[in-house]
Amino acid sequence: MAQSGSTMMAAAFVQPGGPEVLQWMEVPLPQLAPGDVLVRVKAAGVQPVDCSVRSGWNPPGLPPATWPRIIGNEFSGIIERVGAGVSAFAAGDEVLGFRVLGCYAEYVSVPADQIVRKPPGMPWEVAGGLSGAGQTAHTAIEELQVGEGDTVLINGAAGGVGTVAVQLARHRGATVIATGREENHEYLRELGAIPVSYEGDLVGRLKAIAPGGIDAALDAAGGNGLQAAIELARDKSRVGTIYAFETYQELGIRWIGSKRNAVRLQELVDLHTQGKLRIHVRRTYPLAQAADAHRELEKRHGRGKIVLTAD
Ligand SMILES: NC(=O)c1ccc[n+]([C@@H]2O[C@H](COP(=O)([O-])OP(=O)(O)OC[C@H]3O[C@@H](n4cnc5c(N)ncnc54)[C@H](OP(=O)(O)O)[C@@H]3O)[C@@H](O)[C@H]2O)c1
C-alpha cells in the first residue's frame, strides 16, 4: 500500500540491552533528502554488528545515539518515492541496497547511489541479505589479492560472510580450505571448499591438507582458526581478519573493513544472476520478531544468513 502518513512501524529500541529491547513500535517516517529514495522494505538482513549496536556500541563516525534507534545495514524493497535530482530510479522499481542503521523498518530512505536493481528472479530475502556480508566478503577477497593457484583458508566459513568469501575465492581459481562444525561440512563442500573442523589439532589437519602451506587467509571467527592461519601463512600481510579488531595489530595481520559501494554490490548481483553465487538464507523472521532473530544469530553457529521479512 502507498505510504501517506508521517509515521511507520519499525523494530527499534529506546535503551540498549539484550534482544528483548527490540520492540515493534511506531516511529517517524524517514526524511527524503535530495538524491535519496524512499524504499518500502521487503526484507532486511541481520548481521552481528546489529547485535553490537543493540547492546550499546555506537559505530565510529556516527553522532551519539538518538531514540528510538533503528538498526539494520542491508535491505531489499520497492521504491515508494524518489527525492529531487534522482533520475536513475523511479517509484515502483525493485531494489536492494545498504546504509548504516535504519533498515529494520517498514521504510528506509537511502542515497540513490547505495542501491541497485533487484533482478526479477532474485528472492526478496536473498536480496535483503546480500549487501552487508556479501560486500564484506568481496572486499576481503579483493584486498587479500586471492588469485589463481592460491591456497586460501577461510575461518568461520559457513556464516554469512564466509559463505560468500568461499565462493568468490573459488571463482578466482583458489583452492579453499574452510573451517566449520562437522554438521556444516557438506554445505561447505557444496560451496566448493575443503571443509575442516576448527577444534583440536587444526594445524595438524591443515598441514595434511595443504603441505605447501597457506597463501592467504580470511578470519571471520577468531580462536583456533585464526591462530592456525597465523602459524601456517607464508605471508602475514595476506592474513586478514574481520573479527579480531582488538588484537589484529599485535598479531601483525590486516584488519579488513567492508568497503561498500553500488559497483561492488552490482557485481555480486550479477554473479548471483549467472548462477555463480549462492546465498543461503537459513531462516527468516517477520520484522516484528527481530528479537528472536537476534537470539538465533547470537548463538554464533549456523549456515548463511538470517533475514527479516516485511510480510
Ligand atoms: N569488519 C567488517 O567490516 C565486518 C563486516 C561484517 C561482519 N564482520 C564480523 O565478522 C564476523 C562474522 O560475520 P558473519 O555475518 O559471517 O557471522 P555469522 O553469520 O554469525 O557466522 C559466523 C560463523 O562463525 C562460525 N564459528 C563460530 N565459532 C567459531 C569458531 N570458534 N571457529 C570458527 N568458526 C566459528 C559459525 O559456524 P559453525 O556453525 O560452523 O560454528 C558461523 O557460521 C562477525 O564477528 C562480524 O561482526 C565484520
Q: What is the pLDDT of residues 9-42, one digit of tens each?
A: 999 999 999 999 999 999 999 999 999 999 999 9
Q: Is 94 exposed, middle or buried (0-12, 13-18, 19+ CB in 10 A)?
A: middle
pLDDT, one tens digit per residue, over 183-200 is: 999 999 999 999 999 999
CA angle 133-275-257, nearest 5°? Answer: 20
For a pocket test of ligand 1, which of 52, 144, 300 has the largest count of ligand atoms closer than 8 A to its C-beta?
A: 300
Give the Å distances, CA to CA, from 262 to 135, 225, 268. Answer: 10, 32, 10
Asked if residue 101 has pLDDT above 80, the reply is yes
CB atoms within 10 A of CB 143: 17
171: cell is 571463482
Pair type for strands 175-179 and 239-241: unpaired
Band of pLDDT at residue 3, cut at 50, 70 and 90: low
For a pocket test of ligand 1, which of 198, 206, 230, 294 has the largest count of ligand atoms closer than 8 A to its C-beta?
A: 198
Residues whose beta carbon lies within 6 Å of some atom of ligand 1: 47-49, 133, 136, 155-156, 158-162, 179-181, 184, 198, 220-221, 223, 225, 242-243, 256-258, 297, 300-302
What is the CA(147)–ligand 1 centre distance, in A? 23
Q: Domains in the chain, please, with CATH?
A: 7-130+279-309 (3.90.180.10), 133-255 (3.40.50.720)
pTM: 0.97
Atom of ligand 1 nearest to the CA of 303: 43
pLDDT, one tens digit per residue, over 235-288 is: 999 999 999 999 999 999 999 999 999 999 999 999 999 999 999 999 999 999
Of 48, 212, 233, nearest in space to 154 by CA? 233
Cα separation, 228 vs 202, in Å, equals 7
Q: Which helix (H) or strand (E) holds 207?
A: helix 202-209
pLDDT, one tens digit per residue, over 115-169 is: 999 999 999 999 999 999 999 999 999 999 999 999 999 999 999 999 999 999 9
CB distance 302 to 282 below 8 Å: yes
For a pocket test of ligand 1, which of 49, 57, 144, 161 has the largest count of ligand atoms closer than 8 A to its C-beta?
A: 161
Give the Å distances, CA to CA, from 228 to 11, 158, 206. Answer: 39, 18, 8
- The residues that bridge with 218 in the sheet, in sequence order, are 154, 240
Cα separation, 180 vs 186, in Å, equals 10
Q: Which helix (H) or strand (E) holds 10?
A: strand 7-13
Asked if residue 174 has pLDDT above 90, the reply is yes
266: cell is 552490482
For atom 26 of ligand 1, the residue with the nearest CA is 156
For atom 37 of ligand 1, the residue with the nearest CA is 301
